[in-house]
Amino acid sequence: MRKRTIRIRFARATCQESERVLSTPLLIDTDMGIDDAAAVCLALANEAVDVRAIVGVGGNVDLEQAVTNIDRLLTALNPPAMPVIGRGMDQVAEGLVDRRSVLGKDGFGEVDLAASGLPVVGFREAYREAIESAGGELTVLAIGPLTNVATILRESPELARSIRRIYVMGGAVLGKGNIAGVAEFNFHRDPVAAAAVLASGLNITVSPLEVTSHVSLDESNVAHLAASGYRTGEVLARLLAFPIEHDAGPQRGKFQLHDAVAAAGVLWPSLFMRTRMRLEITTEGEHAGRSKPALGGDPNTQIDLLTAVNAGDLLENLLESLCHEAFVV
């Protein structure tokens, strides 16, 4: 009983916090697969953040499919304040893997969600507008390969230094990776970009695979979302059907919400434990994208690494956010 009371108190505290705290302006950089969609739904359903822009990057699927999926999701959700959509970059290396085998040919569970041709701007314009209009308060949630972020950092370093904080889903630092058991997909897909961003000295929080893998949705959670009567829950339930039905691996019947956990790091930081360290990224060879703790070096290039998560409370907050936000107008 005591645990339940704490949870209710926490939930009220969160609501009170969000009422007290001005919305954090947010730009989401995403390779728009299904766990990316969960992160976007979570951000759009929470008044603590104000989603100013959603920028596509190649990764789970190619760049054009990622941008189309952003349009499909926003068309289905029709949020009160429509974020700017940006077209970023794709990675050009030979033989790169994507994640369509897990997510379906379109990266979105092959569901019937139509794009409506929402306007799209270049990612440089989307970043500049979001950073300048936020006056030094912009948070970037990077939940795909860091190709766009590294390009902005390289081409416009002063603009990039006006970003308040960058939350990254990526890396497998104190645990196994999902690429050959060593690297994590986002860092593997563009290891040079990952190395450049993580060594930049910007305020960065990394949500690595060994933390994000602790939060999954199962069939009963999906049924709860589908019956919620709210657009965020219903749309997400449709996207989740494919991976939950088709995953024959150890995660059968469950779907890991890597990117939604990174988004939760922005919304509910008290649910995580963290440490500070420098990361060393392998930038070539079969272990490209591998991320390991680096000893010594410039302390100004350390990042915050999340090391543990209260998965139960995070899942409860996530389901409450996705099922109780009245998008239905």
Active site residues: 258
Q: How far apart are CA 28 and CA 49, in angstroms?
A: 11
Q: Which stretch binds ligand RIB (CB under 6 A): 46-54, 180-188, 292-300, 306-314?
A: 180-188
Three-state secondary structure along 55-97? EECCCCCCHHHHHHHHHHHHHHHCCCCCCEEEECCCCCCCCCC
Specify the residue, 45 or 168, whose C-beta has the smaller distance to ligand RIB.
168
Q: How far apart are CA 120 and CA 140, in angstroms?
A: 19
Task: Please select the residue that binds Ca ion; options are 143, 193, 217, 279, rule is CB under 5 A.
Answer: 143
As beta bridge partners, residue 123 has none
List binders of ligand RIB among 130-149 (CB under 6 A). Answer: 143-144
Q: How far apart are CA 60 and CA 63, in angstroms?
A: 9
Binding track, positions 185-224, relative to ligand RIB; x by CB under 6 A: xx----------------------x---------------
**DSSP annotation string for 18-51:** HHHSPPEEEEEEE---HHHHHHHHHHHT-TTEEE
Residue number, nearest CB to ligand RIB: 185
Nearest to 69 by CA among 92, 37, 43: 37
131, 162 Cβ separation under 8 angstroms: yes
Minimum distance of ligand RIB from residue 145's CB (angstroms): 7
258 binds ligand RIB (CB under 6 A): yes
Q: Which stretch binds ligand RIB (CB under 6 A): 27-35, 90-98, 200-208, 300-308?
A: 27-35
36 binds Ca ion (CB under 5 A): yes
36 binds ligand RIB (CB under 6 A): yes
Q: Quickly count: other Cβ atoms within 10 Å of residue 39's Cβ.
A: 26
Q: Which stretch binds ligand RIB (CB under 6 A): 17-25, 184-192, 290-298, 306-314?
A: 184-192
Point out which residues bind ligand RIB (CB under 6 A): 31, 33, 35-36, 59-60, 99, 143-144, 169, 178, 184-186, 209, 258-259
